[in-house]
Chain A
């Protein structure tokens, strides 16, 4: 089940919350939707889930447009809104029953579905309590359970792990990854490690526009440019000699000694080349002992900062 977003725009007064964005998500893909607060993530999700009409543009889900077939689309989507609003005065089971019926599950299947969801989301001990009596983590699970009860082909989760403890976060991520194997998932967050841990693809949005789109690896490569290595060489007394030898290598662009650490250097290669092999060969030749060689990766945080600050 694919989602195609075409030139989507949403205007609130003079402000454009979402500005002509277009992207596509395919079946079995987990898309991480990143962006600073107020970038337009939630607005986009509200439009895809047919809660709000866009000012312009269209979203097509399996060739059904949100303008002409909202009812069909709503049945295929499971949605966990931001802040996870729930009816606090309803017991968990009753609530799941209500949602299941609204989503058109037949009466004879609904009990099985509820049992399944209670099991999958780990709600068994709390299932008879009212939602208002649950802790935040359990409420979040109820939120996930209601989103998945009708076995939707598309899951849209707006910050699914806020307020959870680290154990629960790991469990929920595992759950999302598991679901994401057969379904299309869009999840928004501003916790960057979460995206790396769960998503196949990242979409960074800033001020209503898409600023980056790709797998974590391609984004990193794009942002990084040249290869940077951290190299430590011991058994060499003559530091200057070491630097000049390193500098003389063909592929090396720049050598930068790390202060405080004797014999440690940051070595930047020329564009498109790698110096790992030549450095190793050189050390062998000179009988120097190479004690460390680590490629330095650009972190997702850096990419995010670079793309979303002016």
Chain B
């Protein structure tokens, strides 16, 4: 557990050292701020004090934001060979994967913390449903966890950052849109499965303030599954033929 924390802190520090963190946070805040406050069906048109429009923007921005964080995670280590140095220290493959996962999650956490002024502003404007806001944030964090684990897996299977970025977007877009679209084309059990696999089904209900264990389990299982795949892809060097 301590090793995971050491690795996470190192990764987080290298995000901030390399400007990645600042650029991504600025882009994230800029995009979500623009669409929440200025453009289109923004927060003032809804007629009620709610952060719903922010959550639906963040739902999209995080989709692009997370792969940009995770794309270099294992690619860089594999390419430069530092993975060998890291794994011959007293750490396990899981320590490395979880450390990197935690670092990404913390950075997204920082980005989300910086949107708290939105919450406070809206609160000042009118009576806000606090429960719904906190649930919305919880939903965003759960969704980020799923994206991060997909991104880590994508970054563990290739030696190229661009491939890693595109691969995680590709996997992500299934959960984001494709399953949702397909589910309306099918009926019966297939339709239900596809609808269950769609992120929006689960995210919408959480961001409305309804926390159902089935939604939480959905996000957590994508996370766990992604991390297991990433770990096995990292440890495939041990496979005995």
Task: Please list the residues of chain A having a beta carbon within 8 angstroms of any beta carbon in chain B.
Answer: 11-13, 46, 49-56, 71, 74-75, 77, 79, 81, 83, 85-90, 94, 98-99, 101-104, 146
Contacts and interface: CB of A to CB of B under 8 A. Distances in A.
B90 A104 contact: yes
A31 B23 CA distance: 50
A156 to B, nearest CB: 9
A102 B91 contact: yes
A51 B81 contact: no
Interface in B205-241: 237-241
A43 to B, nearest CB: 11
B9 to A, nearest CB: 9
Given A79-B85, A87-B82, A55 B90 contact: no
A13 B241 contact: yes
Given A51-B237, A98-B6, A101-B6, A89 B18 contact: yes
B121 interface: no
A85 B81 contact: yes
B161 to A, nearest CB: 15
Given A52-B237, A55-B241, A87-B14, A102 B82 contact: no
Given A13-B241, A89-B14, A89-B18, A74 B3 contact: no
A260 B13 CA distance: 70
A112 B185 CA distance: 66
Contacts of B92: 71
B90 A102 contact: yes
A103 B13 CA distance: 19
B88 A51 contact: yes
Interface in B1-40: 3, 6-7, 10, 13-14, 17-18
Interface of B: 3, 6-7, 10, 13-14, 17-18, 80-82, 84-92, 237-241
The interface centre, meaning the residue of A11, A49, A56, A102 with most chain B CB atoms within 10 A of its CB, is A102
A295 B139 CA distance: 83
A33 to B, nearest CB: 17
Contacts of A98: 6, 10
B208 to A, nearest CB: 42
Interface majority SS (helix, strand, loop, mixed), chain A? loop
Given A52-B238, A89-B14, A89-B18, A103 B90 contact: yes
A269 to B, nearest CB: 50
A28 to B, nearest CB: 23
25 contacts: A51-B87, A52-B237, A55-B240, A55-B241, A71-B90, A74-B88, A74-B89, A74-B90, A81-B84, A85-B85, A86-B85, A87-B82, A88-B80, A89-B18, A90-B14, A90-B17, A99-B89, A101-B6, A102-B3, A102-B6, A102-B86, A102-B89, A102-B91, A103-B90, A146-B85
Contacts of B18: 89
A60 B31 CA distance: 56
Contacts of A89: 14, 17-18
B32 to A, nearest CB: 28
Contacts of A99: 89
A61 to B, nearest CB: 13
Contacts of A11: 241
Contacts of A46: 84
Contact of B82 (A54, A55, A85, A101): A85
A50 B84 CA distance: 10
A83 B81 contact: yes
B15 to A, nearest CB: 11
